[in-house]
A and B are shown apart, each in its own frame.
Chain A
Amino acid sequence: MDGSLLMLIYVFVLAMFVGFELITKVPPTLHTPLMSGSNAISGITIVGALISAGLEQFTISTILGLIAVIFATINVVGGFLVTDRMLKMFKKK
């Protein structure tokens, strides 16, 4: 195992801790928007999809990348919009 993989695992573990700290503070009333919003964040795979779909040569990688871009974009756009639609409704007296 070289240093770079270890460094990535490092980042992963620390980010998990940050996630646990932040999310335990989200009240139950916002659990659905939390899910749809964090779900939109998991559409970050779009970064990898863009690199695959933008290769110089057109190969099977490009096709897989294109479908991945479509999937991830649905995830990102749909997720953030629907979360906003929900959060708009939460009003106090």
Chain B
Amino acid sequence: MDTLIKIAYLVASTFFIFGIKFLASPKTARRGNLFSAIGMLIAIVVTLFDKHVLTFEWIIIGLIVGSVVGTIMAIKVPMTGMPQMVGLLNGFGGGASMLVALSEYYKIHLGTVKGLSFNTELTITIALSILIGAVTFTGSLIAFGKLQGIVTGKVVKYPGQHPLNLFLLILVVAGSIYFALNPELEWLILTVSGISLVLGVLLVLPIGGADMPVAISLLNSYSGLAAASTGFVLQNEQLIVAGALVGASGIILTNIMCKGMNRSLMNVVLGGWESAGSSGPATTTIKGNVKAVEAEELAMLFDAAENIIIVPGYGMAVAQAQHAVRDLFNILEAKGKNVRFAIHPVAGRMPGHMNVLLAEAQVPYDKLYAMEDINDDFPNTDIAFVIGANDVVNPAARHDKNSPIYGMPILNVDYAKTVVINKRSLNVGYAGIENELFFYPNALMYFGDAKEAVNKLVHELKNL
């Protein structure tokens, strides 16, 4: 039986691998997700035949409760709430890993299962599994809270922050090592669990809203590593393979997000741009005239344009303007314009955030271009229309060595013949710095809430 179970786990792992492979194209992606789900089903079913699984009432209750809650969450969540949803799901995965490791500890500690005993390898992996699982759990809950607006989205800084985190980390590592050698100390592993939970809160709390893509990707990676470390506790290859795949995925995404901001992971984890948070909103330092434009005049400009690139940012998500943007896209296409979207890697609050919102509004995905694929086309573009993005289009990143965002790759919207920026006001972006783009001679400010402003523009275009 054991051999059969192991073979079934191998089959399940193969399904996961093909599931991820099919995610390489939007055409096959849905089938890929189905493959992964089948792999999971196989893994769950064969585990019920494990020789240690003898009672089923708690399993059935757990499966039913979890399925109902999971289904409701998946159906109810609006597309704009997707970053929170992903954050929360990461947390549940991490929490489960921590609980399984603790459960395994008590199994041996209380002698529930005959013939099991502690050895150093096992106790080390238990401690590691608890540490990663706990940090993933509370860290994800804080990330969820920040994205949902329950916890402040600002960069949180307080005196002694880094020394405190370092102290707690040393405490956890030292406690884990001592526990590994003295596994009978129940209070010690519970203390390690407790401090790990606190550490998760403290590590994510300082991370500001616009850095969330990095945090979510990193927690995604942790949730995989937590599963893999639980696999080491249980000596289960299935958990290790699946956990490693997810861990790798999270690491790659984290890396892409960090590159998109030209920052090291350390810099993000330690919290915020250097100028942000402490100094407060920057005062206007750039002098010049800002040209504002109204919907009617803007409609005429769009009507005369040939090539148009729309640049969406987090402001579009906040205003829920994706459907209005789709209407704009449709009317411009109907007028025979070449309309494309340029998506910055860190636009929004998680990797691919803008793409999901625009897909929801039924904008065809082949009109969405990644930064490196479209950035050279801006000089041949009549209108670049920036909706709710700020720092990712700030030309200071290219030339101003004193700017905190210097070196960050940006969308070169200023190279377009005209760049129209929709914003609610002239306020600074997340990085807390002035955007000189607004004062460029080819820049036009189109003030207003993204949804209302774009709707007004569509209305005017229809009236032409």
Q: Which residues of A contact B (CB under 8 A)?
A: 1-2, 4-5, 8, 11-13, 15-20, 22-62, 64-93
B369 smallest CB distance to A (angstroms): 9
Complex: chain A residue closest to B108, CB-CB: A61
* Contact-residue bracket for chain B: 35 or more
What does DSSP make chain B's interface, helix, strand, loop or mixed?
A: helix
B246 touches A89 (CB 8 A): no
Query: For residue A30, which residues in chain B have a CB less than 8 angstroms away from its CB?
Result: 23, 26, 29, 352, 355
CB < 8 Å: which of B53, B230, B231 contacts A50?
A: B53
Given the complex of chains A and B, what is the CA–CA distance between A39 and B110 in angstroms? Answer: 33
Cβ-closest 9 pairs across A and B:
A73-B66, A19-B248, A69-B62, A31-B352, A77-B70, A78-B70, A54-B53, A31-B351, A15-B244
**A35-B249, A53-B62 given; A80·B352 CB < 8 A:** no
Given the complex of chains A and B, what is the CA–CA distance between A11 and B236 in angstroms? Answer: 10
A33 touches B29 (CB 8 A): yes
CB < 8 Å: which of B36, B103, B355 contacts A32?
A: B355
Query: For residue A85, which residues in chain B have a CB less than 8 angstroms away from its CB?
Result: 74-75
Given the complex of chains A and B, what is the CA–CA distance between A43 and B69 in angstroms? Answer: 15
**A19-B249, A31-B253 given; A77·B238 CB < 8 A:** no
B53 touches A51 (CB 8 A): yes
A61 touches B112 (CB 8 A): yes
CB < 8 Å: which of B55, B220, B364 contacts A35?
A: B220
Query: For residue A16, which residues in chain B have a CB less than 8 angstroms away from its CB?
Result: 244-245, 247-248
B106 touches A22 (CB 8 A): no
A75 touches B65 (CB 8 A): no
Complex: chain B residue closest to A93, CB-CB: B364
Query: For residue B77, which residues in chain A have a CB less than 8 angstroms away from its CB?
Result: 82
A65 touches B23 (CB 8 A): no
A15 touches B73 (CB 8 A): no
